[in-house]
Amino acid sequence: MKNQQGLSLESKCVEEVKDQKTTSAHILPIYATSSFAFDNVEESIDIFSGKKQGHVYSRYANPTIDTVAKKIALLEGHGGPQELTAYLTSSGMSAISTVMMGLLKSGDAILTQANLYGGTTELLLKVLKPLGIDIHFCDLKNLELVAQTLQAKGNIKMIYGETPANPTLACIDLKAIAQLAQSHGAYSVIDNTFCTPYLQRPINFGIDFVIHSTTKFLNGHGNGIAGAIIGRDAELMRSKVWTCLKLAGTNCNPWDAWLINNGIKTLALRMEQHSRNAQALAEYLDNHPRVSKVNYNGLPSHPDHELAKVQMSGFGAMLSFEMADGLAAGKALMNKLRLSTQAPTLGDVHTLVLHPATSSHLNIEKSLREKNGITDGLIRVSVGIENAADIIADFEQALQD
């Protein structure tokens, strides 16, 4: 601490007073600082040139943010052969755009699926395509078609997928997609938001990069927006992804990172309870005469039940279903629910319901969404961690005529 003797009151107001005791915080502190002070010019040169480890500026890196990124890297790499690298971003969308802008250039192409998170489809078509990056949609479950498309279009540099996908819970084969991408010199990227590393770790199946909207299950409490990028190749992560993050300014902030850290402490408990409750609600809805179809990976009737069993250690919180009487019946049901909240998000401790056709997928062409099972009568549920009997009772009363 600088000697404050002799300073005026005004200057003492401005001076930073440092705690001189050596204390160890029990909980990760929030480093709410834009930059980091150097002891002298020599130290500044050493840190800037990379000779000495140290922080410079919070858009580049920050102790709170880096600590939480490291935790997510440890979780995504759990059970795998190597240490992973992770960065936190300002949102799930910024994680996706940073990975794409950092790794691709004009003239390259992305191969992806039509049933993506609505915002991702919009990002591809409204932002990346006008920048000269070609976008090809194909069914990533159809591995022969994927191989043919890779062969036919020589410029595909990235395969981008979601499994299970929003909101029909369609799964893609992680191992096969990773191998196809690798053999054609393309990066494979998976949005692992629905599963979290507690239920699925795509990099252990050979995938190159994972992205998260930590806004959802990793935070878990619906009180912040942030994202994460995780990769196996530390050098590539630093030279391409981090450089883009730093220069596009898509970094996370210490407060949101700290909230994620709190959320992750109960991730295992929450994902177990989410999965148990979703299984119970899916079985209840599946047996209800007014419900014509239930999409849940934990139901043996789901087309990807077997693949989900291989890739996931549980089936998670997300399900969707269709009312036999279509849109009008679906709307009436949503308005009658009391415990469940209508909100355009997912992954909270509360049960959340959403009507994709009029919300998350409103800006996606009707023909494109219907091809992927997002019909007008579909309702998506992010099953919370309340008592399962209370959740089912809420749907039971709402399903009564």
Ligand X SMILES: *Cc1c(COP(=O)(O)O)cnc(C)c1O
Give the residue numbers marked as catalytic: 59, 117, 191, 216
Among 85, 149, 166, 200, binds ligand X (CB under 6 A): 166
221 binding ligand X? (CB under 6 A): no
Write out the binding residues for ligand X, residues 332-371 only, by CB under 6 A: 346
We find the least distance from the C-beta atom of residue 226 to ligand X, in angstroms, to be: 7
We find the least distance from the C-beta atom of residue 96 to ligand X, in angstroms, to be: 7
* Region binding ligand X by CB under 6 A among candidate stretches 57-65, 190-198, 244-252, 389-397: 190-198
How many CA atoms lie within 13 Å of 195's alpha carbon, on the beta-carbon side? 28
311 binding ligand X? (CB under 6 A): no
Nearer to ligand X, 227 or 356 (CB): 227
| Nearest residue (beta carbon) to ligand X | 92
Report the DSSP pairing between strands 318-323 and 291-295: antiparallel
CB 91 within 8 A of CB 213: yes
d(Cα 169, Cα 304) in Å, to the nearest integer?
8
Nearer to ligand X, 333 or 352 (CB): 352
Write out the binding residues for ligand X, residues 114-143 only, by CB under 6 A: 117, 119-120
Q: Is the bond leading into 167 cis (omega within 30 degrees of zero)?
A: yes
227 binding ligand X? (CB under 6 A): yes
Q: Which two tokens stand for residue 381?
A: 């549920």
* Per-residue mark of binding to ligand X, 55-94 (x: CB under 6 A): ------------------------------------xxx-
| Residue 109, number of CB atoms within 10 A of its CB | 19
137: β partners? 112
How many CA atoms lie within 13 Å of 368's alpha carbon, on the beta-carbon side? 16
We find the least distance from the C-beta atom of residue 91 to ligand X, in angstroms, to be: 3
Q: 283 — phi, psi (to 5°)?
A: -65, -40
* Region binding ligand X by CB under 6 A among candidate stretches 98-106, 187-195, 264-272, 320-328: 187-195
Beta-carbon contacts of residue 163 (< 8 Å; ≥ 6 apart):
170, 171, 172, 174, 190, 200, 202, 311
- Interface residues with ligand X (CB under 6 A) are 91-93, 117, 119-120, 162, 166, 191, 193-194, 213, 215-216, 225, 227, 346
